[in-house]
Structure 1
Amino acid sequence: MGAIQEIFQEYYKEYEKTHTLPKHARDAANKIKKCRTAALGGHVQACPEEHYQRIWYNSCKHRACTQCSGIQIEEWLEKQRVRLLDIDHFHVVFTIPHQLNELWLLNTEIMSKIFFESVKKSLFGLLKNPSFLGASPGMIATLQTWGQTLYLHPHIHCLITGGGLTDTEEWKNSNKDYLVPCKTLMEIFRGKYIDELHKLAHKNKIKRPEGMKYLEIHDLLKKLRTKNWNVRIMERYTHGEGVITYLGRYIRGGCISNKRIISIKNGEVIFKHQDNKETDEKNKAKKKTMKLKAEEFIQRFLLHIPKPGTKVVRYYGIYASSKEKSLNKCRELLGVEKVKTIKKITWQEYCEKKGEKHPEECPICGTKLIRKESIMSYYKPSDRLETIKVEKAS
Structure 2
Amino acid sequence: MRPAVEVADIFRRYGEAWRQAHDGHLGRVERRVMSAIELCRTAALGGHVEGCRTCRTVRVAYNSCRNRHCPKCQGAAARDWLEARAGDLLPVPYFHVVFTLPEEIAAIAFQNKKRVYGILFRAAAETLRIIAADPRHLGAGIGLIAVLHSWGQTLNYHPHLHCIVPGGGPSPDGSRWVACRPNFFLPVRVLSRLFRRLFLEALRAAFEVGQLQFFGEIEELADPPAFARMLTSVSRRDWVVYAKPPFGGPGQVLAYLSRYTHRVAIANSRLISMEDDRVTFRWRDYRRGRRPRRMTLDAGEFIRRFLLHTLPDGVHRIRHYGFLANGQRAARLTTCRALLAAGTPEAADRVRPATSPEPVSRPCPCCGRPMVTLAVWYHGQAPPTGPFWNDSS
- TM-score bracket, normalised by the shorter chain, equals 0.7 to 0.9
> 1:135 is paired with a residue of what secondary structure?
coil
Equivalent in the alignment of 1:163: 168
| Alignment partner of 1:246 is 2:259 | no
Equivalent in the alignment of 2:377: 375
Q: In the TM superposition, what whole-angstrom CA distance separates every residue of 1:19-53 from its partner, at most 9, and x where no partner exists? A: 13221221111111111111011222234578432
Change in CA separation of 1:66 and 1:390 when aligned onto 2, cut-off 3 Å:
farther
Instruction: Note the C-alpha offset of 1:306.
Output: 1.2
Distance in 1 between residues matched to 2:97 and 2:75, nearest whole Å = 25
Contact 1:251/1:313, CA 8 A, preserved across alignment: yes
Instruction: Note the C-alpha offset of 1:390.
Output: 9.5
Q: In the TM superposition, what whole-angstrom CA distance separates every residue of 1:205-253 from its partner, at most 9, and x where no partner exists? A: 2112254122211111100001111110112334354344334323335
Distance in 1 between residues matched to 2:93 and 2:59, nearest whole Å = 49
Change in CA separation of 1:366 and 1:243 when aligned onto 2, cut-off 3 Å:
closer
1:271-282 to structure 2, matched below 5 A, reads 271-279=281-289
Contact 1:140/1:158, CA 8 A, preserved across alignment: yes
Distance in 1 between residues matched to 2:210 and 2:365, nearest whole Å = 64
Change in CA separation of 1:360 and 1:174 when aligned onto 2, cut-off 3 Å:
closer
Contact 2:43/2:383, CA 8 A, preserved across alignment: no
Change in CA separation of 1:239 and 1:49 when aligned onto 2, cut-off 3 Å:
closer
> 1:6 is paired with a residue of what secondary structure?
helix
Distance in 2 between residues matched to 1:158 and 1:368, nearest whole Å = 39
Change in CA separation of 1:17 and 1:375 when aligned onto 2, cut-off 3 Å:
same
Equivalent in the alignment of 1:224: 234
Equivalent in the alignment of 1:10: 13
> 2:139 is paired with a residue of what secondary structure?
coil
Equivalent in the alignment of 2:141: 136
Query: Structure 2: where are the runs of 5+ without partners?
Result: 353-357
Distance in 1 between residues matched to 2:54 and 2:181, nearest whole Å = 65
Change in CA separation of 1:362 and 1:154 when aligned onto 2, cut-off 3 Å:
closer
1:24-39 to structure 2, matched below 5 A, reads 24-39=29-44
Change in CA separation of 1:362 and 1:313 when aligned onto 2, cut-off 3 Å:
closer
Distance in 2 between residues matched to 1:86 and 1:270, nearest whole Å = 43
Question: Would you say how many aligned residue pairs link Structure 1 and Structure 2?
Answer: 370
Contact 2:46/2:383, CA 8 A, preserved across alignment: no
Equivalent in the alignment of 1:304: 309
Contact 1:200/1:206, CA 8 A, preserved across alignment: yes
Distance in 2 between residues matched to 1:286 and 1:11, nearest whole Å = 30
Distance in 1 between residues matched to 2:186 and 2:368, nearest whole Å = 57
Contact 1:142/1:247, CA 8 A, preserved across alignment: no
Equivalent in the alignment of 2:132: 127
Equivalent in the alignment of 1:346: none
Q: Which residue identity lines up with residue 216 of structure 1 in the other structure?
A: A
Q: Which residue identity lines up with residue 268 of structure 1 in the other structure?
A: R
Q: Which residue identity lines up with residue 279 of structure 2 in the other structure?
A: V
> 2:316 is paired with a residue of what secondary structure?
coil
Equivalent in the alignment of 1:184: 190
Instruction: Note the C-alpha offset of 1:293.
Output: 0.9
Output the aligned Cα RMSD.
Answer: 2.7
Contact 1:55/1:388, CA 8 A, preserved across alignment: no
Distance in 2 between residues matched to 1:50 and 1:89, nearest whole Å = 47
Equivalent in the alignment of 2:214: 208
Distance in 2 between residues matched to 1:236 and 1:53, nearest whole Å = 47
Equivalent in the alignment of 2:339: 333
Q: Percent identity?
A: 30
Distance in 2 between residues matched to 1:366 and 1:120, nearest whole Å = 46
1:136-155 to structure 2, matched below 5 A, reads 136-155=141-160
Contact 1:51/1:362, CA 8 A, preserved across alignment: no
Distance in 1 between residues matched to 2:371 and 2:184, nearest whole Å = 55
Equivalent in the alignment of 1:59: 64
Q: TM-score of the superposition, structure 2-length normalised?
A: 0.86
Contact 2:93/2:248, CA 8 A, preserved across alignment: yes
Q: TM-score of the superposition, structure 1-length normalised?
A: 0.86
Distance in 2 between residues matched to 1:386 and 1:233, nearest whole Å = 52
Contact 1:254/1:305, CA 8 A, preserved across alignment: no
Distance in 2 between residues matched to 1:142 and 1:167, nearest whole Å = 27
Distance in 2 between residues matched to 1:11 and 1:390, nearest whole Å = 37
Change in CA separation of 1:329 and 1:47 when aligned onto 2, cut-off 3 Å:
closer
Change in CA separation of 1:197 and 1:52 when aligned onto 2, cut-off 3 Å:
same
